[in-house]
Structure 1
């Protein structure tokens, strides 16, 4: 049974996710999966708790599993899938996003090539994006290495060691097309 304050938390997460372009129900699912017990919930349990239709829960969980935030799991002997958020879900999602930095910089470079003979005012938006992505590409590996070191310290001192026990994330976020 969920308390009113727990559902309020799920709604606050939904508001945040809505500003990120997600439908509110996806944010509510994330909010609930961050705090629910047991940590794995079926679509039926999510629908009942959040007061949503099974269809909207199905759409939300598909979107969230594709994005890497939520993971679908099947228990042995059960037909229905349950959903959960692993402790390292955000790290994995961000690593994948960071890994696409080079790919997008290359797309922007192609745009700059296309506009090579155009006046500077026409190229300035692309140049600003290119500058940002070059900066991110150079700085993110060091930031990621510091994050991994922090997570490793948590694991060694008795905190949540899920990331460390799974080999952690790479010091350099994966580049687009990398295999895990």
Structure 2
């Protein structure tokens, strides 16, 4: 029998921890940053105060504040105030994941420039440049696939 009730935060936290583990393993982010992202993807209402987030993911306010500052500065999370309230609320940006992917694609393009510089320094021949060329070709291939197959 299915219930129409919303799940309690405690039921959602194992999923939030999975998101956090992914962010740690794949992107080298601190666990709390992954927890914030996971919670803001699944919470209801989608806007949460820092206190609500900290209480739910069991983080200190100081640690949460620095992570929220990071996430807002890179454009993944938006901070807003409601009229007549002093409390700030946070929400994951609707295009947060597109921003993450675009940054990764941009970094692949930036590596291409670095690889070309390395090839020039090594003289574009020999085993030194062969390793650079393999890296450059692999990353260019990945970038080209993503550009050819946009979402």
* Pairwise TM-score range, normalised by the shorter structure: 0.7 to 0.9
Residues 74 and 108 of structure 1: CA distance in aligned 2, closer, same or farther (over 3 Å): farther
- The aligned counterpart of 2:98 is 91
The Cα shift of 1:137 comes to: 4.2
Greater RCO, CA 8 A, separation 6+:
1
Residue in structure 1 matching 2:24, options 18, 23, 30? 18
Measured after TM superposition, the shift of residue 140 of structure 1 is 2.7
Cα RMSD of the aligned pairs, angstroms, is 2.2
Deviation at 1:132, TM superposition (A): 1.9
Q: Which runs of 5+ in 2 are unaligned?
A: 1-6
Q: 1:139 aligns with which of 131, 136, 145?
A: 145
The aligned counterpart of 1:53 is: 60
Once the two structures are superposed, residues 103-161 of structure 1 have per-residue CA deviations (whole angstroms, 9 ceiling, x without a partner) of 221122111111117x62222332112112332343332211xx1xxxxxxxxxxxxxx
Q: 1:66 aligns with which of 38, 57, 73?
A: 73
TM norm structure 2: 0.81
Q: How many pairs does the alignment contain?
A: 144
Instruction: Check whether the contact 2:75–2:93 (CA below 8 A) recurs between aligned residues.
Output: no
Q: 1:38 to 1:126 in 2, by over 3 A?
A: same
Tell me the SS of whatever aligns to 1:102.
helix
Residue aligning to 1:115 = 122
Give unpaired runs (5+ residues) of structure 1. 148-180
Q: For the residues of structure 2 that align with 1:139 and 1:16, how far apart are their CA atoms?
A: 23
Structure 1 position 88, deviation (Å): 2.4
The 8 Å contact of residues 9 and 56 in structure 2, kept in 1 or not, is answered as no
Mapped partners of 2:61, 2:138: distance in 1: 41
- Indicate the residue corresponding to 1:151 in structure 2: none
